[in-house]
Amino acid sequence: MLARLLQRLLILGLMLLGVSLIAFLVPFVSGGDPVRTILMSRVRDLAVDPAAVEAMRVHLGLDRPLPVQYGTWLWQALQGDLGYSFTSGRPVASEIGRALGVSVTLALTALGIAAAVAIPLGTLAATRPGGTVDSATTLMIQTFVATPEYWLAPMGILVFALYLGWLPSAGWTSWSSLVLPAMVLSLRPMAYFTQVTRATMMDVLQAPYITAARSRGLSMRQTVMRHGLRNGSLPVVTFFALWLAGLLGGSVVIEVIFAIPGMGRLLYEAVVNRDVPMLQGGFVSIVALSILINTIADILYVALNPAVRSGHAH
Amino acid sequence: MNKRDEPLLVIEDLKVAFPGQSAPVIDGLSLTLDRGEVLALVGESGSGKSMTALSLMRLLPSGGAITGGRIRFDGEDVLSLPDRQMNRLRGGRMAMLFQQPQAMLDPTSRVSAQIAEPLRLHRGLGRRAAMGRVLDLLRDVGIPDPAVRARCFSHELSGGMAQRVMMAAALSGDPDMLIADEPTTALDVTVQAQILRLIDEERRKRNLATLLITHDLAVVAALADRVAVMYAGRIVEEGPAKAVLESPQHPYTQALMRCSLLVPDPHGQLLSIPGSGTHARELTCGCRFHPRCSAASQHGLVSRCMRSEPALKPDADGHVTRCWAVETEKETAA
C-alpha cells in the first residue's frame, strides 16, 4: 500500500516537471515578441525604439539563454514565486491565487447544483426505464447538452437581471452574483451526471444483491437508498472531479460574459496581452490543481468502495 | 378452507411468462408445503425451479410476470397483497438463500448492516439491540469471531462464509418458510455438506418449512421429506422422497437417477440423458419430455406422447406422475 502510494507520488512529480517545461516553453513557441507587444501597448506607437526594447528585454531577464531562464523560473516557482505580470506588474502567484479562489467557488457551486439534481433524477429515471420521468429526463439531457452557454448566459441575464431584476447582471460583488453564472454553468455537467447516474443505476438495480435486499423485506425505495445509491454514485465521483478540473480554467465564456475575475478570464487576458509569466504560472497552477483533484477523487473512490480498498477490484 | 387445515404454502396452477417468449416458463404448477416440512424441487437448469422460488417472493426479474394461478401463504393470497404487506412477508415470514452467496451481498455495505435489516424492519429492534442480535445469529450459523466478521464486506468472505451470512440474514426475521435456491451449487464440495447440515439443523430447531431447490439427488435423499421433479416448467412427478427415490415412475426421474452418483452404474460409467434439456419457453407439443424419452418408443406410444400432454395421476400413497407410459402400465395391470 505504502509502496503504491510512493510510486504514485513519484509519477505525479515527474508529470508536474514535464508540465512545467511545456508551460514554460509555450509562450515562446507561440511566436511574436512579448517585449515589443508590451511596449507597443504602453506607448501606443508601432515604431518602438529598438534601444528601449533591448533595455526592457534585459530588465525582464529575457536576454539570457532559455535553459537558464527555465531553471531560474522553476526554482522560484517551487518557492511559490511565479514572477511578475508583464501587464499589471503585480505578482503572478497572488493574481492566480485570487482568480483560482473565484473559479473554484463558481465551479464547486455549479457542480454542486448539478450533482444535487442529477443523482436523484438519474436514480428516479433508472427505477422506471421508459416511464414519464425517464422520458422527460432524456429530453432534458439532450436539451442541456445542446444549449450553448454563450446563448444561455445572455438569456439568463435578460430574464433574471434585466426583466425580473432579481439578480445582478454581472460582476463579482456578493453571493447573489454567483447564482446566475453557477446555474448556467451547471446545466451541461448536470446533463452528463444524470446520464451517468441513470446508466450506472440501471446496472446496479439489476444486481443480485438488490434482489437479495428485497427478499429481506426492504421496499424498492429503501433498497435504492441503502444499497443502490452508494454503488450507483461511484462513477459520479470520478466525473465530478474531471469536470471540476475542467471548469477551473475552462469557464472562459461564462467568466467573460458575467465579468467574473476568475481563472478563465485571467488566462484569456494573458493570452491576448502576451503576458508570458502569467501564462506560464497559470498553466502550471491549473494542471497541478487538476492532478491534485483527480488524486483526491481516486482516494474518495477507494473510500466509497471497500472492494477496491483491499485490492479486490472486479 | 380453514386456515389450520391448510398447508402453510399452497401453490395452485401457477403460470409465469416473459413477454415475447413463445411459451410460459412455468405452466400450471401446483405444490403444497406444510409447516416444518422439507420439499425438494428437482430438475435441470431452465426447468423453472428458480422462477418458482422468485414467484413466491414476487421478485421475478423485470419483464417476468405471474400470468395465472394462486399462491396462498398461511391463508393469505400472496399475489393480491398490497406492496407494503408483501414487504412485511418478505424477510419476516419467508426468507431466501441464493446460489451465488457473495454476489447476493452488497459490496459496499457491512455484513452486519445487511443481517440487521430484517431485525429492524420486521422485529422493530433499535440499532444497538439489532447489532447484539446480529452477533448471536452469526454465532448460530457457525461463524467464528462474530464481532470481527460482522464488520466484514462481502469480498472479505469465502463462498461458504458468505452463505452462512446469508443464512443469518434469512433467519434474522424469524421466518416460517425458507426458500433455498441451490444454496450449495456454487460452493466447494467440502463446504457444501457443512452448509446443508447448517440448513438442516436450523430448520429443525425453528420448525421451518423449507423449499429446497437442487439438482443433486443426494441432497434430496439426505434432507427432503417430499420431492417434486420439474421438467420444462411443469411438475412431472411428485411424492414422498423415499418413494420417489426408491421407485421413480417418470422416465425423466428414472433418467436423473441413472445420471446421479447416488446409484452407481454397474458398469462404472458416468451416464447422461441424451439430448439437451427442453427449456420451458420452447414450444413443444404433447409431453414435454417425449423427444428425449426412451419409454415412449418402448411402449409404442410415440404418437400419443407427441400429440397430447398427460395429466398428473396419483397412485395409492400420494405419489403422482405425469406420464402416458406409467398410466398405460397401470391400466393393463388393473
- Checking B136-139 for CB contacts under 8 A at 24+ apart, the result is B137/B168, B137/B171, B137/B172, B138/B164, B138/B165, B138/B168
The residue behind cell 485490492 is A311
Cβ contact A209:B105 at 8 Å: yes
- What's the grid cell of residue A19? 508540465
Say which of A207, A208, A217 has its CB closest to residue B87.
Answer: A217
Q: Name every residue whose Cβ is closer than 8 Å to that of residue B139 and which is 6 or more positions away in sequence.
A: B146
In this prediction, residue A313 has a pLDDT band, given cuts at 50, 70 and 90, of very low
Q: B101 at the A interface (CB within 8 A)?
A: no
DSSP lists the bridge partners of residue A221 as none
- Rounded to whole angstroms, the Cα distance separating B118 from B121 reads 5
Question: What percent of chain B shows pLDDT beyond 90?
Answer: 60
- Rounded to whole angstroms, the Cα distance separating B98 from B186 reads 10
Predicted pLDDT at B3: 53
- What's the grid cell of residue A70? 527555465
Contact B118 A216 (CB under 8 A): yes
How far away is chain B from the Cα of A312, in angstroms, using its nearest Cα? 7
C-alpha closest to that of B53 among B206, B203, B208, B177: B177
Q: A128 at the B interface (CB within 8 A)?
A: no
Q: A211 at the B interface (CB within 8 A)?
A: yes
How far away is chain B from the Cα of A137, in angstroms, using its nearest Cα? 21
- Rounded to whole angstroms, the Cα distance separating A208 from A225 reads 16
Question: Helix, strand, coil: what percent of chain A each, to 5?
Answer: 80, 0, 20
- Rounded to whole angstroms, the Cα distance separating A25 from A40 reads 23
Residues from chain B that touch A307, judged by Cβ atoms under 8 A, are: 107-108, 153-155
Of A155-164, A303-312, B143-152, the range with the lowest mean pLDDT is: A303-312
Cα separation of the two ends of chain B: 35
Q: Which amino acid is at A265?
A: R
Question: Using CB atoms and an 8 Å cut-off, which of residues 14-33 of chain B contact chain A?
Answer: none
- What's the grid cell of residue A310? 483491499
How far away is chain A from the Cα of B123, in angstroms, using its nearest Cα? 12
Domain boundaries, chain B: 247-333
Q: Name every residue whose Cβ is closer than 8 Å to that of residue A262 and which is 6 or more positions away in sequence.
A: A99, A100, A102, A103, A106, A251, A255
Residues from chain A that touch B95, judged by Cβ atoms under 8 A, are: 215-216
CA dihedral in degrees (A52, A56, A58, A61; nearest 10)? -160
ipTM given for this complex:
0.89
Other CB atoms closer than 10 Å to residue B321's CB: what's the count? 27
Strand ordering across the sheet containing B65-73: B26-33, B9-17, B65-73, B76-77
How far away is chain A from the Cα of B61, in angstroms, using its nearest Cα? 8
- What's the grid cell of residue B202? 436450523
Q: A217 at the B interface (CB within 8 A)?
A: yes
Give residue-wise pLDDT tens across range A174-227: 788 888 999 999 999 999 999 999 999 999 999 999 999 999 999 999 999 999
- Rounded to whole angstroms, the Cα distance separating B194 from B192 reads 5
Cβ contact A309:A303 at 8 Å: yes
- Rounded to whole angstroms, the Cα distance separating B186 from A190 reads 42
Cβ contact B251:B325 at 8 Å: yes
The residue behind cell 474518495 is A300
Contact A213 B106 (CB under 8 A): yes
Give yes or no for residue B1 having a pLDDT over 50: no
Biggest CA–CA distance in chain B, Å, is 69
Predicted pLDDT at B216: 87
Q: B105 at the A interface (CB within 8 A)?
A: yes
Cβ contact B274:B292 at 8 Å: yes
Q: A202 at the B interface (CB within 8 A)?
A: no
Question: Using CB atoms and an 8 Å cut-off, which of residues 26-45 of chain A contact chain B?
Answer: none
Cβ contact A141:A197 at 8 Å: no
How far away is chain A from the Cα of B316, in angstroms, using its nearest Cα? 38
pLDDT mean over A270-279:
86
CA A254 to chain centre: 13
H helix runs in chain B, sequence order: 49-57, 83-89, 111-122, 127-140, 146-149, 159-172, 189-206, 217-223, 241-246, 251-259, 295-298, 302-307, 324-333
Range from A68-72, B192-196, B285-289 that averages highest in pLDDT:
B192-196
Q: A130 at the B interface (CB within 8 A)?
A: no
Question: Using CB atoms and an 8 Å cut-off, which of residues 111-140 of chain B contact chain A?
Answer: 113-114, 117-118, 121-122
In this prediction, residue B270 has a pLDDT band, given cuts at 50, 70 and 90, of low
Give residue-wise pLDDT tens across range A90-103: 999 999 999 999 99
Residues from chain A that touch B107, judged by Cβ atoms under 8 A, are: 209, 231, 305-307
Considering only alpha carbons, which residue of chain A is nearest residue B153? A306
- Rounded to whole angstroms, the Cα distance separating B18 from B268 reads 42
C-alpha closest to that of A81 among A71, A91, A69, A89: A91
Cβ contact B217:B228 at 8 Å: no
Other CB atoms closer than 10 Å to residue B67's CB: what's the count? 14
Q: CATH fold of A93-309, please?
A: MetI-like fold (1.10.3720)
Cβ contact A254:A187 at 8 Å: no
Contact A215 B57 (CB under 8 A): yes
Considering only alpha carbons, which residue of chain A is nearest residue B123? A217
Q: B63 at the A interface (CB within 8 A)?
A: no
CA dihedral in degrees (A117, A123, A129, A130; nearest 10)? -10
Q: A55 at the B interface (CB within 8 A)?
A: no
How far away is chain A from the Cα of B220, in angstroms, using its nearest Cα? 24
- Rounded to whole angstroms, the Cα distance separating B151 from B303 reads 62
Q: What are phi and psi for residue B240, nearest 5 degrees?
A: -60, 140
Q: Strand B234-240 to strand B226-231: parallel, antiparallel, or no bridges (unpaired)?
A: antiparallel
Range from A177-186, A267-276, B312-321 that averages highest in pLDDT:
A177-186
- Rounded to whole angstroms, the Cα distance separating B215 from A163 reads 73
Q: A135 at the B interface (CB within 8 A)?
A: no
Predicted pLDDT at B91: 94
pLDDT mean over A161-185:
86
Say which of B83, B106, B155 has its CB closest to residue A227.
Answer: B106
Give yes or no for residue A32 having a pLDDT over 50: yes
Q: Which amino acid is at A14?
A: L
Give residue-wise pLDDT tens across range A40-71: 666 666 667 778 788 888 887 778 888 888 88
Considering only alpha carbons, which residue of chain B is nearest residue A225? B109
- What's the grid cell of residue B154? 462481502
Give the SS3 label for residue B16. Answer: strand
**Mean per-residue pLDDT of chain A:** 86
Give residue-wise pLDDT tens across range B222-266: 999 999 999 988 999 999 999 999 989 898 998 888 887 666 666
Predicted pLDDT at A294: 84
In this prediction, residue B192 has a pLDDT band, given cuts at 50, 70 and 90, of very high
- Chains A, B: CB contacts under 8 A, how many? 90
